[in-house]
Chains A and B, each alone.
Chain A
Amino acid sequence: AQTVTQSQPEMSVQEAETVTLSCTYDTSESNYYLFWYKQPPSRQMILVIRQEAYKQQNATENRFSVNFQKAAKSFSLKISDSQLGDTAMYFCAFTYSGAGSYQLTFGKGTKLSVIP
């Protein structure tokens, strides 16, 4: 079975600063995908960034980047130049090719507050 662990239930960061959210996962699969999703208060969950396990290069999307350490099964999210709109729950998620269909396993989430 696959598991995803987010060890930081809550974090805060000053506006314009950088913050890193941690995620570790456990799997015996070799071909898988990792994601960070953002769920703002009372708003829809949206995909922030995706990493394919076979790609060595860390994914980046504007101010968001990941540090993917495959051997350590670690997948952290770095948010640069934090903005008030980044305040949200952030979920790390996993799926693998053998799942048969699109089935995500989520971590418990990290509540991020950006302080003005």
Chain B
Amino acid sequence: KAGVTQTPRYLIKTRGQQVTLSCSPISGHRSVSWYQQTPGQGLQFLFEYFSETQRNKGNFPGRFSGRQFSNSRSEMNVSTLELGDSALYLCASSRTGYRGAETQYFGPGTRLLVL
């Protein structure tokens, strides 16, 4: 079974631009979560989607948004990029996202560099 895939793997943008990252969960998984990983702040929860609905959102500004499609693939968008948005963005999937009782599988991440 294929794992969680994320595209692109690397991205360089300039301040003020916007970016869209994509995540394809494991087949049969309907819950997709996004995390931002930086050296300073560590791993922080962005949001979680289940059946095309955002169920939970972390403490990030409105510039960070996401969506999920009917095939469970998810995208996240960051508008008006800032230097501090440079990070590794990780996507994780699980079957139903039931609060820890399932295993959450992570993708390889998209490394975003904002210049």
Given that A44-B107, A102-B48, A104-B104 are contacting pairs, would A96 and B42 also be in contact in the complex, using a CB cutoff of 8 Å?
no
Rounded to whole angstroms, the CA-CA distance of A114 and B110 in the bound complex is 27
A71 at the interface (CB under 8 A from B): no
Are A101 and B107 CB-contacts (below 8 A) given A33-B99, A107-B42? no
Residues B106 and A102 in contact, CB atoms below 8 Å apart: no
Q: Mark A72-116, 1 if CB is under 8 A from B, else 0.
A: 000000000000000000010101110111111111110000000
Q: Of B31, B43, B109, which is within 8 A of A102 by CB?
A: B31
For the complex, give the distance between the alpha carbons of A32 and B100 in Å: 8
Fill in one digit per residue for A29-71: 1 if any B CB lies within 8 Å of its CB, else 0. Answer: 0001101010000011111001010000000000000000000
A-B contact pairs, 29 of them (CB 8 A): A32-B100, A33-B100, A33-B101, A37-B106, A43-B108, A44-B106, A44-B108, A44-B109, A46-B106, A47-B103, A47-B105, A50-B100, A50-B103, A91-B43, A93-B43, A95-B100, A99-B56, A100-B55, A101-B31, A101-B55, A101-B56, A102-B31, A102-B97, A102-B104, A103-B56, A104-B43, A104-B45, A108-B42, A109-B42
Interface residues, chain A, CB within 8 Å of chain B? 32-33, 35, 37, 43-47, 50, 52, 91, 93, 95-97, 99-109
